[in-house]
Amino acid sequence: MENSDPNSVGIVERKVFSFAGEGEDALKLDSGKILKNINLAYETYGHLNDDKSNAILILHALSGDAHVAGFNNSSDDKPGWWDNIIGPGKPLDTKKYFIICSNVIGGCAGSTGPSDINSETNKPYGLDFPFVTVFDMVRAQKKLIDNFGIEQLLAVIGGSMGGMQALVWAVENSVNVKGTVVIASTSSHSAQCIAFNEVGRQAILSDKNFQSGAYYDSDVTPQEGLSVARMIGHITYLSDESMGEKFGRKIQNFDGGETKNKQGYEYDLGVDTVFQIESYLRHQGATFNKRFDANSYLVITKAIDHFDLAKRYGNLEKAFEKVNSRVLVISYSSDWLYPTYHSKKIVKSMMKVGVDVSFSEIRTEKGHDAFLLEDKYLSGYLTAFLEALPERN
């Protein structure tokens, strides 16, 4: 496709940073295990200034990746997942800022994960891939930032799982971050969050084609299980209002055509006729299979389920005593995955220990995924927050 948008970053190349190879320090994980020969896929937008003071690290959500803006080639029909926020003249203005986004370890979009070769067995890791935490993900990102020679990031910004990573950056690397933005996120998963993730994991594990995670050389993969996991997860990203507004109780044929049967009940239990919301979820599951790995889904959902700042440090106040950056926390009124009380809990704990923190709840019917959509309020908050950051901490 020809991109004529003057506010687009255009064609962007995915790069790979490799570390922990032979003769180098391996990455010691929270589990005590060692991860070697690590690749971290990343993309950059804009230019790093001479004193390396304009760098912003973007941290992606569970199903995201390093491709946050622009296009990877001229035939792409869809830009990066936050293209509405990043680019010339946009809130994260690439004429002013140097934007970095990397795929997390454990992922499946270029960073080392379960689908990669284990050097000790010369076979894909599969279920042998070590348990990783959100803290491990951030340690790998820190290696990438150090490789750029950046001593202090202007900001770290993340939504959902990315917000968890942003909190870790603020706590664990306090002197390395000037501003922290946490969007639609949490300091720990609720039992409900864990429950939804567990149902998704069980859908994958129960798929007859899962093959104990060793499906990479097979003609069949656990597509049905991963599809169901995505459908379950996607429901939590929406809201009752947004689903009602977009789909309601409309019924259509499975091929997308609207059914003529408006009154009767001449339906079977198959897939000839479905509610539009059913068709939408099936589409989401099918497309997810084209870009995500089932084992990575297991690894990443386990990582976020076990994320718990209060447990790690004793309580949230003790965790946030380490925070040196300015912080902006944003929630969404219709987000029932991470309701606003999760964000308020973070803010109150930060205020108790004197963190320079501000908070806003954005009113919307779009649910958890609202942070990925065009939103004048989010754009305004990001612009104002970045412009107000001091030259030096």
Residues annotated as catalytic are 160, 335, 368
Please state the φ and ψ torsions of residue 180, each to the nearest 5 degrees.
Answer: -125, 130
The SS3 call for residue 71 is: strand
Q: CA–CA separation, 312 vs 230, rounded Å?
A: 29
Q: CA–CA separation, 77 vs 297, rounded Å?
A: 25
Please state the φ and ψ torsions of residue 93, each to the nearest 5 degrees.
Answer: -75, 115
What's at 22, amino acid-wise? E
Nearest C-alpha neighbor of 242 from the set 268, 272, 214, 277: 277
Please state the φ and ψ torsions of residue 387, each to the nearest 5 degrees.
Answer: -70, -25
Pairing of strands 15-19, 38-45: antiparallel
Sign of the dihedral defined by the CA atoms of residues 166, 169, 172, 174, in that order: negative
Helix pair 294-305, 223-237: axis angle to 10 deg: 40
Alpha carbons within 13 angstroms on the beta-carbon side of residue 56 total 29
